[in-house]
Amino acid sequence: MTLRTDMDGFRPIDPITIRHDFPIFERDFAGRRLAYLDSASTSLKPRTVIDAVTGYNARYTANVHRGIYTTGEEATAAYEAARVKSARFIDARDSHEIVFVRNATEAINLVAYSWGRRNIRQADTILLTELEHHANLVPWQLLSQEKDADLEFVAIDEQGRLNQESYDVLLRTRPKLVAFTQVSNGLGTINPVREMVAKAHDVGALVLIDGAQAVPHGPVDVQDLDCDFYVFSGHKVLGPTGSGVLWARKELLDEMPPFMGGGEMIREVHLRRTTFNDVPWKFEAGTPDISAAIGLGAAIDYLTAIGMDNVRAHERDLTEYALEVLPREVPGIRILGPRSATERAGIVTFNLPDIHPHDVATLLDREAIAIRAGHHCTQPLHERLGEDATARASFNVYSDRDHIDRLAAGLRKVQRIFERPGSRAAVASQAVAAAR
């Protein structure tokens, strides 16, 4: 299922009430409360997730799949329950198709290393896009260099949308693999995933989808998308860092060789030979981050109770509001990416004329407003856009219109500071511009 673009029939989210579930909002920042607008980088953690992690460490710490004593069995049950919850969250057919990893980056590297090194040959084509996060670019660069394969890239238009004519032309190269993001972390662009997957399958390609920015923003159904690999990070869906998921069709996982060797991923080990465990444990060597997986399960429970359709409707409302308010209230602001909230997730990327994004973020921090500034791990995208860096505000269930109003007011204040002749901020920014 692609991210829904309509908002009819959804239950409104009350961010003020939700913020009571997040301890960080109780913190005082020099007399101000935090306006956290960097959820695309990492999301905040509700108390239920924190308690789940603490509960494992305090009450039933043990390794999984090993101890036959009480706490060992409790740990294993909680760990495997998180796998079942992850499968249901993205509508996987079987929880055995869920491999726990540290993050989406590790998941993509696992596919590149295991499936890629077995299946990619000299002169094969791997098709990516100009929107990709470095995590869905660098592993394929390394693989293509090792195998002497070819990388091709789907172009974007002036609004940061994938050019489907470019995609159709590049599919004529009959790529072995097509890998692309469902939602751009740089611009918030929502890609037409289902249609792109179908076209790739028509030419015999497998498809990997980077869902790191999609899973937090709305319902995902991997069966409906009909992709072959899907990855996401737990820390972007209110879960702990160090948690993440690789989903793949079980027949692919069965055929793929192990990613790492060691304990847990084995069935039998002899001095000169080893037989490997069943999937998914074949890909989970050594002691995993047990508490992070359990925390991810708690985060999924939290979001499921809210309803991911409701999350999508809430973030679309905030995005529409930001696209309306920021241009009206902040003179000269330039917003990048699709102009319609129906084509983007809860991410708004922008620049202010003659003010470096790092300066913008630093000054907003004085107002307890947290945004991201830089290239957002998408340097090729920024090169394509002709930008050294950008500022980015991103939303989640705890975000509301007041946060956007504070952002607009903060940006006007930044502009006033830089308008003062000879101000330290203006001089510093001029020095940075001169150095570039």
* Residues taking part in catalysis: 377
User: What one-letter code names the amino acid at 229?
Assistant: F
User: How do strand 369-370 and strand 372-374 relate by DSSP bridges?
Assistant: unpaired
Tokens of 9: 């029939």
Which of 144, 141, 178, 174 is CA-nearest to residue 162?
178
C-alpha span between 132 and 187 (Å, rounded): 11
C-alpha span between 115 and 119 (Å, rounded): 6
C-alpha span between 86 and 308 (Å, rounded): 14
Which of 186, 82, 68, 64 is CA-nearest to residue 130?
186
User: How do strand 266-269 and strand 274-276 relate by DSSP bridges?
Assistant: antiparallel
Q: CA geometry: angle at 204 spanning 201 and 210, to 5°?
A: 55
- Strand pairing partners for 391? 350, 373
Which of 199, 147, 192 is CA-nearest to residue 174?
199
Angle between the N-to-C axes of helices 164-171 and 193-202, in degrees from 0 to 180, rounded to the nearest 10 = 20
CB–CB of 44/20 below 8 Å? no
Alpha helices in 157-192 (DSSP H): 164-171
Task: Count Cβ atoms within 10 A of the Cβ of residue 210 and give its class: 0-12 exposed, 13-18 middle, 19 or more buried.
Answer: buried
